[in-house]
Copies of this chain bind each other. A is one copy, B any other.
């Protein structure tokens, strides 16, 4: 008998590259940048960036400067853009990593002017409707044309690109075009992330920023997911027991057995990225003859354990693995059950410290 105690995350770099490559085709010759912020959504920015670099990617986006510094050694001559911009706490990181800040507003621009890094042409982000980072019109007016021409790219970000028919897409496109025409006529432009590339050629501009789609997330939920699943998250069964009619499961006794059942306690919990909102709702898969058997999470997800109804599986064994993410129950499936989006689920699962990560 084998006994295990630790969750395992299998990360398929080849499939990440495959997703990147198929999205890149949609960019129609524009730059297809790889977004590896948040440690590549937790999957390991260095590993992912290296694989993308080998596949020809030469432009990378991170959120924070130290994330850029971390990947520099594996993407030697690539452009690394930092979306959260530059400040006192990251300036040295920019210098060491030869990083390109995305300037978020006029105050940050003033900081940049006082702390320019030789050889770096920053990117400017402009506000088109997301109302997050980016220069408003009145801020753009404060810059001279000469100053505006110093930026390598003008960038904005779509709010509703995952809904093809949403009015915000056209509204933001029109605003972006107006800003570009008026202030950045000769500057290269970038508007779309993975979801934007499906909106039409007019959304492509000179660079698209491929992130979520590359990691297998369906960024276009109005159509079937064409991206391949890149993950397998599994955790071992620690014990199997009978649950008698009338007994309860987990904290606050939120599940009660209405008949005799069989349960398995699996060694993974919310400390490992299994959102507590999956309590009494989420599904777990065991494989029999290569086929998935879906089992329900019973009671509250706790910090280190999840209890699963295995009444359907006669030969369930201590030491075997329960699958939390697989081709049969993907990030979107868990997100739907948890009441959130696949991006959050991936970030939590990817960043979980205790999970053993295995790359292929």
- Which residues in A have some Cβ–Cβ distance to B below 8 Å? 1-6, 37-39, 63-67, 83-90, 104-105, 107-108, 110-111, 127, 129-134, 136, 159-160, 162-163, 166, 168, 236, 238-243, 247-253, 263, 265, 267, 270-271, 276-277, 299, 302-305, 307, 318-319, 339-341, 343-344, 347-348, 351-354, 356
Which residues of chain B have C-beta atoms less than 8 A from A133's C-beta?
A: 238-239, 265, 305
In the complex, the answer to whether B131 meets A319 with C-beta atoms within 8 Å is: no
In the complex, the answer to whether B136 meets A252 with C-beta atoms within 8 Å is: no
In the complex, the answer to whether A131 meets B250 with C-beta atoms within 8 Å is: yes
CA distance A10 to B262 in the complex (A): 44
Count the copies.
Answer: 2
With A105-B241, A243-B131 as known contacts, state yes or no: A1 contacts B110, CB within 8 Å: yes
* A340 closest partner in B (C-beta): B276
* A112 closest partner in B (C-beta): B3
In the complex, the answer to whether A5 meets B159 with C-beta atoms within 8 Å is: no
Residue in contact with A87 in the complex, picked from B3, B83, B252, CB distance below 8 Å: B3
In the complex, the answer to whether B131 meets A304 with C-beta atoms within 8 Å is: no
Which residues of chain B have C-beta atoms less than 8 A from A87's C-beta?
A: 2-6, 236, 319
CB distance from A22 to the nearest CB of B (A): 23
CA distance A1 to B115 in the complex (A): 12
* A39 closest partner in B (C-beta): B353
Which residues of chain B have C-beta atoms less than 8 A from A111's C-beta?
A: 1, 3
In the complex, the answer to whether B248 meets A168 with C-beta atoms within 8 Å is: yes
In the complex, the answer to whether A247 meets B131 with C-beta atoms within 8 Å is: yes
In the complex, the answer to whether A239 meets B105 with C-beta atoms within 8 Å is: yes
In the complex, the answer to whether B318 meets A270 with C-beta atoms within 8 Å is: no
Which of A104, A132, A243 has the most B CB atoms < 10 Å from its CB? A132
Which residues of chain B have C-beta atoms less than 8 A from A353's C-beta?
A: 39, 351
Which of A39, A105, A163, A249 has the most B CB atoms < 10 Å from its CB? A105
Which residues of chain B have C-beta atoms less than 8 A from A132's C-beta?
A: 249-250, 265, 302, 305, 307
CA distance A239 to B339 in the complex (A): 30
Q: List 5 A-B contacts (CB under 8 A).
A: A84-B238, A105-B238, A130-B250, A131-B243, A271-B347
In the complex, the answer to whether A271 meets B65 with C-beta atoms within 8 Å is: no
Which of A129, A136, A271 has the most B CB atoms < 10 Å from its CB? A271
CA distance A5 to B108 in the complex (A): 10
In the complex, the answer to whether B253 meets A168 with C-beta atoms within 8 Å is: yes
CA distance A39 to B351 in the complex (A): 14
Which residues of chain B have C-beta atoms less than 8 A from A351's C-beta?
A: 271, 351-353
In the complex, the answer to whether B340 meets A6 with C-beta atoms within 8 Å is: no
Which residues of chain B have C-beta atoms less than 8 A from A134's C-beta?
A: 239
With A38-B303, A265-B104 as known contacts, state yes or no: A159 contacts B253, CB within 8 Å: yes
Residue in contact with A238 in the complex, picked from B108, B239, B319, CB distance below 8 Å: B108
In the complex, the answer to whether A64 meets B354 with C-beta atoms within 8 Å is: yes
In the complex, the answer to whether B160 meets A252 with C-beta atoms within 8 Å is: yes
In the complex, the answer to whether B277 meets A89 with C-beta atoms within 8 Å is: no
CB distance from A134 to the nearest CB of B (A): 8
Which residues of chain B have C-beta atoms less than 8 A from A127's C-beta?
A: 241
